[in-house]
Amino acid sequence: MKIGIVGCGKISDQYFKFGQISKKIEIISCTDQVLEKAMSQSSKYSISFANSFEEMLLNPEIDTILNLTPPKEHKKITIESIKSLKHVYTEKPLGINSKECDEILETAKKYNKQICSAPDTFLGAGIQESKKIIEKNSIGKIVNASAFMVSPGHEHWHPNPDLYYDIGGGPDLDMAPYYLTVLTYLLGEVKRVTGSHKKTFPTRKILSNPRKGEIIQVEAPTHISSILDFHTGVICTMIMSFDTWGSTLPRIELYGTEGTLYLPDPNTFGGPLKILKSGKDTWDNIAIPKNTGQRGIGLEDMADSIKNNKSAQTDCQKAAHVVNIIESVRISSEKNQHIYLK
């Protein structure tokens, strides 16, 4: 699978490096709205660059577009790529709302092209081992779950944190896809949500270089609490926040009738993974294979799905469900009511 990258920001290095070691994909070109970024990555990784996205779409050698643009651009880049008869793998989220996701799904169906979406961390050893434990019924029937991601905000480390506070940003659209992808992978689909959100500060000061000291406007909610009801009967409490200095809460825990499972950070591919069995006072560590995985394995899964004409594990239908959950939580807060997902 020969890939052209659109968007040469901070995250692109991880994909470029994966492309150098993969035997299933090959990154052959890149482009960016800021052409200097594309030229820099082109030189760094010894590949060609395109002067524009439109020029890249005209390259017949490229069969797949890797969409690493800001969330607000995901729909446009994805749909135009599909219409140019390219497959697409996009960074999360698939779109910034369900309407955008629906348009993407319809376009994929019309042009019979594969669309996949990050995150692919659930394909790593940590979550795969978690799935095996659940399938062995090691903690019994799962009845409840919790998921927490809290931080003081991306302005503390990211060189351009604006997009995380703009429309299409927020801790839910940025970070919840990692958590919700894992939860829906292990527990199935969500049927109903209840939520409450707020925007704590109207502005933020960038604390990282090169824009340290610059003030940016906050348009997205920055603290979101929610209750997720799964079709399986599991009830999950989830908090996503850019307004919290720190926490001792676990990233994800699953509570079963015979024990509790402590899951790895879903933004990583490995451990730690722990289990507390009923009647015991101490947690047991569960060994994780050393080859845990890395960002880009979703591209290899996509390449296999195209070659074998099957659905990919990172298929856009699953990514659309995740966006629907996030959007419905916000709507629940605004309407002060439960929201049932389509």
9 occurs within a structural domain:
yes
pLDDT of residue 290: 82
Chain centroid to CA 218? 22
Task: Say yes or no: 172 and 109 in one domain.
Answer: no
164 and 112 within one domain: no
Q: Is residue 326 part of a domain?
A: no
Domain housing 223:
121-295
Q: How many domains is the chain partitioned into structurally?
A: 2
When pLDDT is averaged across residues 259-280 and rounded to a whole number, the result is 97
CATH assignment of the domain containing 154: 3.30.360.10
141 and 256 both lie in a single domain: yes
- Domain match, 10 and 70 both: yes
Whether 342 maps to a domain, the answer reads no
Q: What is the CATH number of the domain that holds 77?
A: 3.40.50.720
Cα distance between residue 290 and residue 272, in whole Å: 12
Q: Note whether 183 and 257 are same-domain residues.
A: yes
Integer distance in angstroms from the first to the last C-alpha of the chain? 34
Write the DSSP symbol of residue 216: E
Task: Convert the pLDDT of each residue in 312-321 to its tens digit.
Answer: 999 999 999 9
| Confidence check: pLDDT of 291 > 90 | no
Q: Are residues 300 and 276 in the same domain?
A: no
Instruction: Look at residue 334 and tell me if it is in a domain.
Output: no
Per-residue confidence (pLDDT) for residue 149, from 0 to 100: 97
289: confidence class by pLDDT, cuts 50, 70, 90: confident
pLDDT at 177 over 90: yes
Residues belonging to the chain: 342
Same domain, yes or no: 188 and 223: yes
pTM summary value = 0.95
**Is the C-alpha dihedral spanning 83, 87, 90, 94 positive or negative?**
positive
| 18-69 pLDDT tens trace | 999 999 999 999 999 999 999 999 999 999 999 999 999 999 999 999 999 9
Render pLDDT for 218-248 as a digit per residue (tens, 0 to 9): 999 999 999 999 999 999 999 999 999 999 9
Q: Is residue 339 part of a domain?
A: no
Q: State whether 273 and 125 are in the same domain.
A: yes
Write down the residue that tokens 């959007």 correspond to. 327
- pLDDT mean over 4-9: 97
> Are residues 85 and 31 located together in one domain of the fold?
yes
pLDDT given at position 342:
82
